[in-house]
Amino acid sequence: MTLPALHNTGVLYRRILSQFPQDISLAFAYGSGVFKQHGTSQGQMEKNMLDFVFAVDDPVTWHTMNLLQNRKHYSILKLLGPTMISSIQNEHGASVYYNTLVPVDGRIIKYGVISTESLIDDLMHWKTMYVAGRLHKPVKMLVQGENGKLRAALVANLKSAVTASFLMLPESFTEEDLFLQIAGLSYAGDFRMVIGEDKSKVANIVQDNIQHFRILYSNILRDCPQVVYKPQQGKLEVDKSPEGQFTQLMALPRTLQQRITKLVDPPGKNRDVEEILLQVAQDPDCGAVVQQGISSIVKSSSITQSIKGIATAGLWKTVSYSSKKLMKMWKGWRRKPSVSQIS
């Protein structure tokens, strides 16, 4: 199975991409500048910053080339050189190096660079859920190479998002319930949702993009033996028996299983993961435990990546970017949407 990609990249995206080193294994654009969100006009959307992620096989070589082509994009960290920049990228936060508030071709963009290896690790195991979480939601795929391992990891990440959401939902629910749950996974525990993000963000993402979510998830839902999917009615029924929940828990990414184990197993007992997950599967609060596990992953990566972002963006850009986020939060609060955010 191949990952459904939204192929209409448009001239704007191709022009922007052409200004970067071309050794990219995966590139996608995401966020409110790319997909319309509820309550945002077309005019506002065109003023929003465009967000990109570039996965590269060799970060040192890529940053070397990019420093030659786009030195002004970098903060004072450019003085440290490409090897140190790559080290900061790989060893701190969520293994992503962001340059933000960059003017390119008449638009303001932000782009994150991650190694292909780190991306596959996050997609498969939810080590930080930072980029994996962005890829739970519709994105505009711009470059997708022939790396079979990466392609398989992209699909595995979507399946994991579905499985985790099943565990947190009731026996019967709608497509919209599922997509709200999936879209909210990477915001659970994110400290920026307390200050700096529009509180209705998850609902805004889903409401105007139901069709994009269907394109992304319909094949996975049809093929999944754990669920009865009725696409015509937009309804689903999932197996909530202890056996069904155990199967789902065993299919979760490794890091999430470890976090759940840590939450449930008292210190010193050292039971194996399978035994602990069997216990969780029979717990009426199974969904809440899964939610806590996800929150613990997201919380730590969102804090460490944001601290790293101050250094990679520079102080002036950090203040400017944060003030824009706070303004969006204020506008969202004033709108007071009727659909409450799923956390």
Banded pLDDT at 193 (limits 50, 70, 90) = low
Q: Which helix (H) or strand (E) holds 12?
A: helix 10-17
Banded pLDDT at 233 (limits 50, 70, 90) = very high
How many C-beta neighbours within 10 Å does residue 214 have?
A: 16
d(CA 331, CA 40): 11
Banded pLDDT at 320 (limits 50, 70, 90) = low
The residues spanned by each domain of the chain are 22-237
Residue 312 has a pLDDT of: 74
Residue 189 has a pLDDT of: 65
Residue 289 has pLDDT above 60, yes or no: yes
Residue 339 backbone class (left: φ over 0; alpha: ψ -120 to 50; beta: rest):
beta
d(CA 293, CA 256): 6
Residue 160 has pLDDT above 90, yes or no: yes
Phi and psi, residue 273, nearest 5° = -60, -45
Phi and psi, residue 184, nearest 5° = -85, -10
d(CA 178, CA 218): 12
* pTM across the whole model: 0.86
Residue 36 has a pLDDT of: 81
